[in-house]
Chains A and B, each alone.
Chain A
Amino acid sequence: MEMNYVIDTFFAIFAMTLIIFMVPGFAMLEAGLVRTKNVTSVLTVNVMIYAIASMSFMLIGYTYAFGSWDHQDGMSQYAFFLFQMAFVGKVVNIMSGGVSERSRILPLALFTVAIGAFIYPTIVNISWGANFLSGTVFDISAMHDLAGSTVIHSTGGWALLAAILIMGPRRGRFKKNGTIQVIPASNIPLVTLGAFLLWIGWFGFNGGSVGAISSKENADAVALTIMNTNTAGLSGAIVGWLLTYFRYKKFDITMMLNGALGGLVAITAGPDLYDIHTPILIGAIGGALVVLFVPIFDKLKMDDPVGALSVHLVNGIWGTLAVGIFVSDVSILTQIKGIVLVGAIVFPLSWITIYAINKVFSLRAEEDEQLEGIDAIECGIEAYPEFKRSI
């Protein structure tokens, strides 16, 4: 029916637009969490990622993931592409945020191409797309991951894990006597703005992944998906807020926001399948995992300025498992198989790629470059030229 085609095309484009709010979302979140001397370069990276990842996907990755441009007839092929394209940059954003303040821009662009053209499309292919593993023992297409707890979030998370291990912490972060040097956020209002833009983007991220809205059934599924997504965010925020207070006797807005994001990642695998109350629990656990893991990664000397490992890798895994735990029709073994296979592909591929890029092109900035700030080294533009540098 032509009307369905039109409505579903429109909905896909609308959802895509909401997802693109995640571009300024990541940008503002990261800009706020790093020091002023690195803000311009972090923002430059964020713009670069959207442009290059999307372009790589358009020119190379998309057909690799789905086999062709006209593999479906429910909506305009261009709308379907746009919706899929909106996700690609997010995978790289997850990785780049976690290695902020010590990455150089051009080598990061090379890794962006690798993700957008090859690594990410491989994962899309075997889970949502043309599926070259179909029929083999490695077939994971039965894994229920509606919007990408595994496909997007833990993919980015595995890449980040490889990057953090290879590149090491920021200069001065972990002192020789074992203490942790705190590097506080430079702009809390931006952090807050960024996190909420991401939250809004999630409505398109998850809602749009239902794939169609033009029937009563689909409309209900989309609305339920978005509702469950939001509920998990609320729950993650509350738990992040309270757990931090009980643990440390102080509120920490960055943990509250990370808690919300953790809940949103955790719900992303199955928001279409849960009743309206289960997301409260899933999001709560997501928020708790963030509050738990951020200090753990610090103790392990894995320096993550934005908490991306806790939000995206840990909760990407938890979110995928949650579908198997709470939905009787979904086997937890199928979910585990998907989680493991994706990790087994993404982590080594990312490791090799990042190791090579770092060796040849110096992805990691030198200690004295980090001291001056990536802005001075690579951009020549101060983000806050009229504000005094703190001593």
Chain B
Amino acid sequence: MKKIEAIIKPFKLDEVKEALVEAGIEGMTISEVKGYGRQQGHSELYRGAEYVVEFIPKVKIELVVSSQEYADKAIEAIKNAAKTGKIGDGKIFVSDISKTIRIRTDEEDEEAL
């Protein structure tokens, strides 16, 4: 089982989700996060004082798939949908999952995905 974690630009969420559904992914979790990489923050002004906002809002998508095949499909889908070509498009991380359990039915591992 593989976990795929993707940090993307927030406005790309709908597009990415549609692409994942088309690729056969049946579920995912998202969270609103902030972060920065090579994309610089921007400066704002409040009552005459300037300040730099370094952390930029992003969306993190997390999903777990049963096989490398599905993982590759998901990665392709995310990459194509989330890309704008401009700095700050985000990153995808892949890791191994040792166990999965469906709470309602007690199914485990591949059966739970």
Contact = CB atoms under 8 A, between A and B. Distances in A.
Nearest to A249: B45
A182 B34 contact: no
Counting chain A CB atoms within 10 Å of each CB, which of B34, B45, B47, B51 scores highest?
Answer: B47
A391 B31 CA distance: 14
A145 to B, nearest CB: 29
B14 to A, nearest CB: 21
A184 B34 contact: no
Contacts of B46: 182, 184-185, 252, 254
Contacts of B48: 244, 247-248, 252, 255, 291, 294-295, 298
Contact of A307 (B45, B47, B51, B55): B47
Nearest to A304: B47
B49 interface: yes
A136 to B, nearest CB: 43
Given A182-B51, A391-B55, A248 B34 contact: no
B45 A250 contact: yes
Nearest to B33: A391
B34 to A, nearest CB: 6
Contacts of B55: 391
Contact of B49 (A295, A307, A391): A295
Contacts of A295: 47-49
Interface in A249-292: 250, 252, 254-255, 291
A180 interface: yes
Interface in B12-36: 34
B34 A252 contact: no
A254 B48 CA distance: 11
A97 B10 CA distance: 37
25 contacts: A181-B51, A182-B44, A182-B46, A182-B47, A182-B49, A182-B50, A182-B51, A185-B46, A244-B48, A248-B48, A250-B45, A252-B45, A252-B46, A252-B47, A252-B48, A254-B47, A255-B48, A291-B48, A294-B48, A295-B48, A298-B47, A298-B48, A298-B49, A307-B47, A391-B34
Given A247-B48, A248-B48, 6 more contacts: A182-B49, A182-B50, A248-B45, A252-B46, A294-B48, A391-B55
